[in-house]
Amino acid sequence: MKKVTGLGGIFFKCDDPKKINEWYAQNLGLKTGPYGTNFEWRDAEHPDQKGLTIWSAFPKDTQYFKPSEKEFMINYRVENLVELVAQLKESGVQVVDEIAEYDYGKFVHLLDPEGNIIELWEPIEEKEEENNEV
């Protein structure tokens, strides 16, 4: 079973997410919105599948990264999150919460040995719709 299949996103704390989004838009050309920006790409092994890597600034006081006190969180794309979480628990990895399901995928959080929060994401793959015009 594949475990990590790619980078799902980079999330970081800052004093003013709106100002940071505006700075990155103006100076580096990122098309930012309230939740940052998405970088869309194609899976090399399955070119019909689109993927996203998310870049997002969070408020300095966010509780989303808890119990980690770090200023960042990395999200990894995975396959078969349920099976992977079972393996991680068997290996003694600290899984912070239960798997949550949304219309865009499944998520769970764990801590590495230095207390860095890691978010695992099993996305719902989007396939490009074929144009069937005659």
Q: Write the DSSP string, 66-80.
A: TT--SSEEEEEEES-
The per-residue pLDDT string of the chain (134 residues; one tens digit each, 9 = 90 and over) reads 778 988 999 999 999 999 999 999 998 899 999 889 999 998 888 888 888 899 999 999 999 999 999 999 999 999 999 999 999 999 999 999 999 999 999 999 999 999 999 999 999 875 444 444 43
How far is it, in rounded angstroms, from Cα 66 to Cα 9?
17
Torsion sign, CA atoms 122, 106, 97, 72? positive
User: Which H helix or E strand runs over 19?
Assistant: helix 17-28
In CATH, which of 3.10.180.10, 3.40.50.10480, 3.20.20.450, 3.40.50.300 is domain 4-125? 3.10.180.10
> What residue spans define the domains of the chain?
4-125
How far is it, in rounded angstroms, from Cα 35 to Cα 55?
8
